[in-house]
Amino acid sequence: MKRLHLSLALTCCLQWAASYAQENASQTIATLAASCAACHGPIGNSLGGTPTLAALNKTYFIQRMQGFKSGSLPSTVMHHHAKGLTDDEITALAGYFAALPIRAPAPAPQQSFLGEQ
Ligand code: HEC
């Protein structure tokens, strides 16, 4: 009976550890992705000037990032960012952004916001 309790406790503990590790990994990717938002816009939707990352094809995303990382693709800033990421992180980021929806651009401000002209 004692053995059964011990193995139950162990199974429970292992399950908890596995789900904790998984949750931790997706939190790390969300944190990494947040650093991209400064230029690529909130949740992958660019506000202009940089490409939108939301809904980008995974293979294309990985090819571009690996190109920036190796220097085979010319870039102004992306080589710095890509070089700091492992291949696993690039793959995880590709999945993260591919799953994000493209949002409709914010509506243009109404005339009344602009004041009398
Ligand atoms: C300082 C601003 C800046 C930050 C931060 C930044 N990017 Fe970029 N990104 C750019 C610019 C600018 C380009 C266009 C290529 C270039 O000139 O470097 C680009 C291009 C890309 C492209 C190619 C898109 C396409 O359609 O060709 C991908 C993919 C990308 N960035 C992913 C990321 C990821 C992932 C992060 C976060 C880890 C990130 N970027 C952080 C500015 C930034």
- The 10s digit of each residue's pLDDT in 67-110 is 999 999 999 999 999 999 999 999 999 999 999 999 977 666 66
Residue type, 13: C
Q: Is 75 in the pocket of ligand 1 (CB under 6 A)?
A: yes
- Output the residue whose Cα is nearest ligand 1's atom 15: 75
Domains (range + CATH), the chain: 2-103 (1.10.760.10)
In this prediction, residues 51-67 reach a mean pLDDT of 98
How remote is the CA of residue 26 from the centroid of ligand 1, in Å? 21
**Nearest protein CA to atom 37 of ligand 1, as residue:** 36
User: Separation of 111 CA from ligand 1 center, angstroms?
Assistant: 34
pTM of structure: 0.81
Distance 43 CA to ligand 1 centre (A): 13
Provide long-range contacts, Cβ within 8 A and 24+ apart, for 44-51.
Answer: 44/97, 44/100, 45/100, 45/102, 45/103
Residue 65's pLDDT is what? Answer: 98
CB 57 less than 6 A from any atom of ligand 1: no
- In this prediction, residue 107 carries a pLDDT of 64
| CA 53 to ligand 1 centroid distance, Å | 8
* b/e 57-91 (16+ beta carbons within 10 angstroms → b): eeeebbebbebbbeeeeeeeebbebbeebeeeebb
Identify residue 9 by its one-letter amino acid code.
A
Q: What is the pLDDT of residue 24?
A: 76
Ligand 1: atom nearest CA of 32 is 38
